[in-house]
């Protein structure tokens, strides 16, 4: 995965696509342009933080309708709407759906660039959170069932002796499993373990 941002532009107006290509290239932002949502879906997403600049009114599927479908399509890109025919209710609807900006043409170039950088930053943060969550789940999955039992009770604040009584094992066994938990979860202190387990799904700790 590369960390460089990429901007996807979907607009049926060729001149708008060309102008946005020039604008984004002038500030060193990589851009890919498409004349329709169909073209965009056929291309797919690159493995890099990104942002989608989406025209509202296009032949066939509108930008608003496509944005509404994005979650179902597994597309989590932040969206900046651009339109020459927008109104306040349309903008409110777009923002309610999760768009980060709704700009009417002609818009200020810097306003668009700021929105795009904001979108790329949000997507970068989202990707980092997903990667961290996947790593944490992998660490938890590496624990044996007995180690997970000990971990659940440790983070609830039980002492080794109490854990041994609850699990009907020796205190030595608890100490060994507890050490394995700390090693496999890659933490050194109990607060660190608590902090990590708080990020696991509640089902993991029940």
Please state, rounded to an integer, the average pLDDT across all residues of the chain.
89
pLDDT in tens, 61-84: 888 889 989 989 999 999 999 988
Give the whole-angstrom CA distance, residue 77 versus residue 27: 21
- pLDDT category of residue 3 using cuts at 50, 70 and 90: low
In DSSP terms, which residues pair with 82 in a beta bridge?
A: 55, 103
Give the whole-angstrom CA distance, residue 17 versus residue 9: 7
Give the whole-angstrom CA distance, residue 177 versus residue 185: 12
Q: Are 136 and 151 in contact (CB under 8 A)?
A: no
Domains of the chain by start residue, with CATH: 6-131 (3.40.50.2300), 143-200 (1.10.10.10)
pTM: 0.77
Instruction: Please give the pLDDT value at position 90.
Output: 76
Q: Are 88 and 42 in contact (CB under 8 A)?
A: no
């Amino acid at each position: 995965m590369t960390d460089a941002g990429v901007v996807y532009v979907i607009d049926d107006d060729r001149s708008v696509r060309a102008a946005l290509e020039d604008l984004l290239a002038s500030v060193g932002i990589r851009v890919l342009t498409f004349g329709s949502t169909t073209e965009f879906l056929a291309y797919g997403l690159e493995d890099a933080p990104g942002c989608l600049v989406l025209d509202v009114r296009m032949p066939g599927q509108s930008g608003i309708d496509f944005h509404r479908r994005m979650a179902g399509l597994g597309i989590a890109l932040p969206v900046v709407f651009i339109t020459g025919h927008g109104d306040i209710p349309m903008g409110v609807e777009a923002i309610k759906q999760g768009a980060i900006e709704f700009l009417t043409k002609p818009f200020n170039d810097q306003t668009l660039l700021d929105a795009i950088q904001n979108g790329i930053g949000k997507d970068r943060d989202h990707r980092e959170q997903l990667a961290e969550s996947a790593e944490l789940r992998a660490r938890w999955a590496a624990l044996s069932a007995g180690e997970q039992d000990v971990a659940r009770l440790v983070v609830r604040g039980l002492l080794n002796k109490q854990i041994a009584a609850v699990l009907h094992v020796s205190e030595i066994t608890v100490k060994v499993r507890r050490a394995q938990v700390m090693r496999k979860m890659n933490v050194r202190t109990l607060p660190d373990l608590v902090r990590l387990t708080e990020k696991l799904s509640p089902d993991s700790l029940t």
